[in-house]
Chains A and B, each alone.
Chain A
């Protein structure tokens, strides 16, 4: 919403400065987005009088002028041919920035004569290209010291406010003036065109309302014998100042009232209207060429202002070209109507028309403004275009707007902490147009017709406090609930930061990627179902909720590889989506590594990342998040996007906590990644909650007095036998004495038959009461060999 200070002052008697006004507007909830002051750049330039201009003693083309300025007499050396004694010009003192030359004026001596400031040309002010002489205001004879902007009439700053959707009343300058007056920045004036115009005849055009609630009331007025043409300069200037293009007097008048009092009007060329006006629903497929020159197709939910043959205007949105006014228009029919906000908004959206009328109707036009609007329009049309007005045609009745609410003045302090006196609250509300009724049952306050946004006591409190001023709201510390803060996150919420920090500490970079991705990619990661497709995606690239974070990381990896990042790792802790239910999203810690496991280094051999890097990442994330990874089992099953022979799951019983492994070559090909890439996906929500009992106390440390004994074994087993199975078997050999089994070597090749591998175990025995004898150690070894052989078929390697 744009307006100028001058226009505002037609409704507001005020001495307040521009800055006071804009500050107050912002604090009132009418946030000032910007102020354009055409006078600001011209502020230092003021009218001055040349007392005497005499020839420069040392230069033929220069004159030495004694100049009377607002701040006293100065001497100026001037090269302009028109500089002469007794003229009035525009003076810029020292220190002024001259826009036309880009220079800032400094004191100077020109050929031996001191010169202070400058008499300027139009080009120096960028007003025109004229540089033949200095600006000559002698004929206008303004007073010395008058700002030049005032002389030019460029003294009306334009203010733009960002209007919140509730304040339809402030889509008119009068509403803004009313708010400022209520807030003590002046008094509200009656405003222009406030008197009624008597009708001289009955309108030949009648109005029939056939669209129910879509248009409950329509006031029309026929004006005959008008002469349309360009509107007067003051009106054109006013519209131009807020960015509207003047069109013709009749159109400019409707725009004027749209802006002046949020009262959109329409003027039909009455001679192009066939018979009476019918406000009806559009027929599906009905076409109308609107005033913006484009043809729109209506549907049967839209309100159409029609004549007896065709639709003439989209009600509340835009008029039609066929019945629009032109220079030749002689008779007009003025529409001052009320259209339903919801339907207007819906129609406007469907048509894609953003008009000043729609902007106001969808926010709610004052239902009491129809008659006054038709009167004001008639008065202005007759003033600018002549003609004779008919009696009013009033169809329908005002939509109901009267209502009132209980107001307890104490609620202001209860809700805002500010004690506002009852008298002040009353004064504020009445200044805003509310009606105060104090009876034995308390206070009832009724909002005015132009405030459809007010629906209860809380709204009344807001009116009182915003006018009183938010600065008065006390800064009150929030009382503590406990003397020391309690944890802000639950155990399960803490998994998110803990896993993130664990993964970052393993060298991975944290990414944040979109929750959506292309449907085709989703399908390759177990998703892509229609239920999780967006029906209005931003683009086809972002049309499906992600079933996994991996495709987003793969996409990012491909982009980074193209920038030369051939080896790196990333992770994201965030949601993935199973279904649309409220429990259908899983919190994941998902990561990806690609290329080499580390940079080239003088002391370390290079290797590619492999499934064990991903496994280690997954275990670290799970452990940090509180999973009992020591009890977890590893199995070789993983989803289809992993390499079937180089991937696995980390499980607790049947619950899969994570999957990990080398990514499937077919997937990598999709992302144009050659070389190794491994990933992992941890389901953080599946981690069992720690037992609540027992507090944070840990079991007592039991230190064995006797040294443990380590013995190594190498077994030949079939290649299909897992290291885990072998180690677990060995451990079973003696659950008391054997405290650790570690696989430390895997070997195939010379000396190992085809189809077999050699697995080397280090088994630790812990003597309990007495040192183990050689015989006891031998016996334990034999037990290990026997149990392993029975469980896995593994034979001790000779």
Chain B
């Protein structure tokens, strides 16, 4: 009997060892341990043995059963590991292949600059105001203290539209300043607005475009003065250009709608034909500003003996070109895809002072 068990053990373990796949191994398992398996068959014969042998044989068969089961498990784990390895080897891909196409849109640097302006002035308590591109003479000129026949009306190279039935001749606004007027007419002081928008002048050459963008600022209250104008614009220039010690110079100038007026220059250096914004040997004019002319306040129904204020205006293209090193104004409107990809901004780059204005 013992010999028979030993023989059986040797056979079964050899079969387990010989099984080359999990399927074959399972066949071995069934033939050994299944309901009609060889061990099961043998154990059914135990009842025919005498009681004293029956006990010993039973123990021997149970031990055999455990041993085979364990061998099966071990073999199974080994086979599974080998099969997985073979499968994985078979599943190898070329990871150097390019990924599936991703959307790769870009924002126009001019519009990104617009968002930067809103982010900076918004921190200082300015809110955005808007107005129409097609204006009337009164809002664009008269209320800004530019009277009929004033040479400035001609110098601005205004685009006119056809006269309407009432004899009104609409204009394309030559600056964003009419929105100052619209705001002062519709709101009571204190006022603190910026006005980014499209503007139009009949000029077309390397440095002028018939359409361009301006941002206007207006602050009206009972006490604000040129010191606040200076403080605000210096902070703006330093934040926008990201140069903390940027020199900013205010000098006298003339605009019909401000009195006193100032033009504002920032420091720069010009070396080897390049231009660097920052402390340097030269100045670069970037905007015009001044105390709102009392006549402008009065045109808007604001009591100029009680309220005063200041305003500024600058070209968005100009500051965008300076900041981002864009050499040619005209390329802004060319819609050249190569240019838009090169100078454009990623859609998730939302300008904010806390998160960083620009990458």
Chain A residues within CB distance 8 Å of chain B: 26-29, 31, 164-167, 341-342, 345-346, 349, 362, 413-418, 453, 456-459, 461-462, 465-466, 470-471, 473-478, 480-482, 485-490, 493, 497, 500-516, 530-539, 542, 545, 552-553, 556, 559-560, 563, 565, 568-570, 573-575, 577, 580-585, 598-599, 601-604
CB distance from B117 to the nearest CB of A (A): 10
Given contacts A478-B124, A510-B108, A512-B111, contact A417 B101 (CB under 8 A): no
The chain A residue sitting closest to B259, CB to CB, is: A458
CB distance from B174 to the nearest CB of A (A): 13
The chain B residue sitting closest to A530, CB to CB, is: B162
Interface contact A534-B160, CB-CB below 8 Å: yes
Interface contact A580-B226, CB-CB below 8 Å: no
> Which residues on the A side are within 8 Å of B235 (C-beta)?
477
Given contacts A462-B260, A534-B159, contact A510 B344 (CB under 8 A): yes
Given contacts A511-B108, A514-B211, A537-B159, contact A417 B252 (CB under 8 A): no
Given contacts A560-B335, A601-B98, contact A538 B202 (CB under 8 A): yes
Interface contact A514-B210, CB-CB below 8 Å: yes
Interface contact A509-B160, CB-CB below 8 Å: no
Stretch binding the partner chain, chosen from B9-17, B37-45, B149-157, B268-276:
B149-157
The chain A residue sitting closest to B294, CB to CB, is: A458
Task: Tell me which of A345, A480, A493, A530 contacts B151 (CB under 8 A).
Answer: A345
Q: Mark each residue of chain B from 204 to 223: 1 if its CB lies under 8 Å from any CB of chain A, else 0.
A: 10000011000000010001
Stretch binding the partner chain, chosen from B24-32, B58-66, B82-90, B129-137:
B129-137
CB distance from B314 to the nearest CB of A (A): 17
Interface contact B251-A461, CB-CB below 8 Å: no
> Which residues on the A side are within 8 Å of B104 (C-beta)?
507
Given A493-B130, A536-B202, 9 further pairs, Cβ under 8 A: A453-B254, A473-B250, A475-B227, A507-B104, A510-B105, A531-B162, A533-B162, A535-B161, A556-B334
Bound-state Cα–Cα, A477 to B125, Å: 12
Interface contact B123-A511, CB-CB below 8 Å: no
Task: Tell me which of B133, B159, B226 contacts A415 (CB under 8 A).
Answer: B226
Interface contact A553-B335, CB-CB below 8 Å: yes
CB distance from B246 to the nearest CB of A (A): 13
Bound-state Cα–Cα, A602 to B98, Å: 8
Q: Does B318 contact A (CB under 8 A)?
A: no
Task: Tell me which of B115, B121, B161 contacts A534 (CB under 8 A).
Answer: B161
Q: Does B266 contact A (CB under 8 A)?
A: no
> Which residues on the A side are within 8 Å of B219 (C-beta)?
478
The chain B residue sitting closest to A362, CB to CB, is: B151
Q: Does B241 contact A (CB under 8 A)?
A: no
Interface contact B260-A489, CB-CB below 8 Å: no
Bound-state Cα–Cα, A85 to B159, Å: 73
Task: Tell me which of A474, A488, A538, A599 contacts B118 (CB under 8 A).
Answer: A488
For the complex of A and B, the 7 pairs showing the least CB-CB separation, nearest first, are A488-B122, A507-B103, A417-B227, A29-B252, A556-B335, A476-B227, A462-B260
User: Considering the complex, which residues of chain B in the window 239-261 have a beta carbon less than 8 Å from any beta carbon of chain A?
Assistant: 249-254, 259-261
Given contacts A475-B230, A559-B336, contact A497 B344 (CB under 8 A): no
Interface contact B134-A560, CB-CB below 8 Å: no
Bound-state Cα–Cα, A577 to B159, Å: 15
Interface contact A601-B101, CB-CB below 8 Å: yes
The chain B residue sitting closest to A417, CB to CB, is: B227
> Which residues on the B side are within 8 Å of A465 (C-beta)?
226, 252, 260
CB distance from A200 to the nearest CB of B (A): 42
Task: Tell me which of A489, A515, A598 contacts B198 (CB under 8 A).
Answer: A515
Task: Tell me which of A470, A471, A577 contacts B134 (CB under 8 A).
Answer: A577
Interface contact B347-A580, CB-CB below 8 Å: no
Task: Tell me which of B225, B231, B254 contacts A416 (CB under 8 A).
Answer: B225
Main secondary structure of the interface of B (DSSP, over half): mixed
CB distance from A29 to the nearest CB of B (A): 3
> Which residues on the B side are within 8 Å of A559 (C-beta)?
334-336
Interface contact B111-A602, CB-CB below 8 Å: no
A-B contacts, CB under 8 A, total: 271
Task: Tell me which of A26, A417, A489, A515 contacts B226 (CB under 8 A).
Answer: A417
Interface contact A509-B101, CB-CB below 8 Å: no
Bound-state Cα–Cα, A477 to B219, Å: 13
User: Considering the complex, which residues of chain B in the window 58-76 have a beta carbon less than 8 Å from any beta carbon of chain A?
Assistant: none
CB distance from A338 to the nearest CB of B (A): 17
> Which residues on the B side are within 8 Å of A583 (C-beta)?
132
Interface contact A604-B105, CB-CB below 8 Å: no
Bound-state Cα–Cα, A552 to B211, Å: 14
> Which residues on the B side are within 8 Å of A345 (C-beta)?
149, 151, 154
Interface contact B226-A166, CB-CB below 8 Å: no
Q: Does B357 contact A (CB under 8 A)?
A: no
Q: Does B180 contact A (CB under 8 A)?
A: no
Interface contact B347-A164, CB-CB below 8 Å: no
Task: Tell me which of B97, B103, B127, B164 contacts A486 (CB under 8 A).
Answer: B127
Interface contact B118-A489, CB-CB below 8 Å: yes
Bound-state Cα–Cα, A475 to B229, Å: 8
The chain A residue sitting closest to B119, CB to CB, is: A488
Task: Tell me which of A346, A414, A503 contacts B149 (CB under 8 A).
Answer: A346
Interface contact A458-B260, CB-CB below 8 Å: yes
User: Could you list 11 A-B pairs, sorted by A, with CB under 8 Å?
Assistant: A458-B291, A459-B259, A478-B224, A478-B228, A489-B122, A489-B127, A506-B103, A510-B340, A512-B333, A534-B159, A577-B134
> Which residues on the A side are within 8 Å of B132 (C-beta)?
582-585
User: Considering the complex, which residues of chain B in the window 323-354 have a beta carbon less than 8 Å from any beta carbon of chain A?
Assistant: 332-338, 340-341, 344, 346-348, 350
The chain A residue sitting closest to B151, CB to CB, is: A345
The chain A residue sitting closest to B252, CB to CB, is: A29
Bound-state Cα–Cα, A489 to B195, Å: 11
Given contacts A473-B226, A486-B125, contact A507 B164 (CB under 8 A): no
> Which residues on the B side are within 8 Å of A539 (C-beta)?
204
> Which residues on the A side are within 8 Å of B333 (C-beta)?
512-514
Interface contact B231-A476, CB-CB below 8 Å: yes
> Which residues on the B side are within 8 Å of A497 (C-beta)?
115, 350
> Which residues on the A side are within 8 Å of B223 (C-beta)?
414
> Which residues on the A side are within 8 Å of B133 (C-beta)?
515, 575, 577, 585
> Which residues on the B side are within 8 Å of A457 (C-beta)?
294
> Which residues on the B side are within 8 Å of A512 (C-beta)?
108, 110-111, 332-333, 335
Q: Does B308 contact A (CB under 8 A)?
A: yes
